[in-house]
Amino acid sequence: MIKLSILLRYSFVFFCISSYVFAAETAPIPIHPVKHLFDIGGPKKTLLSLPSDVAVDKHRIYVVDSGHHRVVVFDKDGDQELIIGKEGIRNGQFRGPVGIDVDSQGRIYVADKGNHRIQVFDKKGKHLVSIVTADKNKSLVSPVDVTVDESSELIYVTGNNNHKLMIYNFPGYVLEEWGGDGVDEGFFRYPGTLTLLHDKRIAVVDILNTRVQVFTTKGKLSLQVGEWGVLPGQLFRPKGIAIDKQGRFYISDSYMNLVQVFTDGGRFQAVLGKRDKPSSFKTAAGIAIDDDMKLYVAEMLEHKVSVHSISEYK
């Protein structure tokens, strides 16, 4: 049964890739060039195991090393600087961490999924506080990702088991809950990665609904990016999202092994690649873009974070 399931999965992936090839033959896929620079980690799983998310600031790369139940911090050249945590339930320890964010002060926020909490560390890796992720009914929630709005002192968290986006204040009290299990606008089926736009709207990857939903600070749906499908501009298993300096959306697809680019208005623009072919980012999960237009992709089953430079847009 397991072998059949694997066969069916890879058959479908082959179908998806073939659909992309067919689309390229009938109508050229817009390609935006990226250049591979280097990898952090690799197949041997010695440095990283199942990296699920990545965050960056001016000086550092922060990787959720989920398989090793820790966070590993690197400089911008990919040299290791710091290891935070190990498997466990105490403060500073993790059980299956998933998402990460870093603020302007270098504080590190980690979605510690198995321990039902957000843990916050200073830039040296010292544990500062743990915020229990519970909903308004005080039921524990398994957090998938976290992002911070410093200007309003709010922490946004996606919940795996309640299908909601939750907003906490810095003391850790839940203020609002948006969404719930469903397919209609404003609802989610396993919300995942999230990020703040430059105007403080919040973008949420709605994984099984194969879309990204963008909300105002009041919780009103502002924009939807993507739809189900395997053709350019469509999403099959979106996982990561990042926003560049011009407000473009970059969305990774872990089944299609692609990163697609959409305009700030949600219109499909291109697939990242080189020459006339899309680049393959194997099982791409969380992604990040820095101010120098470098792209960081957590390629989960490759046990690495790949780093690329994005060409200037004309």
Q: What is the pLDDT of residues 257-295, one digit of tens each?
A: 999 999 999 999 999 999 889 999 999 999 999 999 999
Q: Which two tokens stand for residue 105?
A: 């002060």
**What number is the average pLDDT over the span 2-31?**
56
Of 41, 45, 53, nearest in space to 78 by CA:
41
Q: What is the pLDDT of residues 53-111, one digit of tens each?
A: 999 999 999 999 999 999 999 999 999 999 999 999 999 999 999 999 999 999 999 99
The pair phi, psi for residue 159, each rounded to 5°, is: -105, 130
Report yes or no: 165 and 149 within 8 Å, Cβ to Cβ: no
Q: How much is the pTM?
A: 0.92
Radius of gyration of the chain (CA): 18
Inter-CA distances, 33 with 39, 226, 241, 276, 310, Å: 18, 21, 18, 9, 6
Task: Report how far residue 120's alpha carbon sits from residue 309's, in angstroms, rounded to the nearest whole number.
Answer: 30
- Beta-ladder partners of 60: 75
Q: What is the pLDDT of residues 133-162, one digit of tens each?
A: 999 999 999 999 999 999 999 999 999 999
**What number is the average pLDDT over the span 230-254?**
97
Instruction: Let me know the angle formed at the C-alpha of 71 by 65 and 73, rounded to the nearest 5 degrees.
Output: 110
Q: What is the pLDDT of residue 245?
A: 95
Which region among 13-27, 215-229, 237-251, 296-310 has the lowest average model confidence (pLDDT)?
A: 13-27
DSSP 98-167: EEEEE-TT--EEEEEGGGTEEEEE-TTS-EEEEEE-B-TT--B--EEEEEEETTTTEEEEEETTT-EEEE
Q: What is the pLDDT of residues 157-209, one digit of tens each?
A: 999 999 999 999 988 999 999 999 999 999 999 999 999 999 999 999 999 99
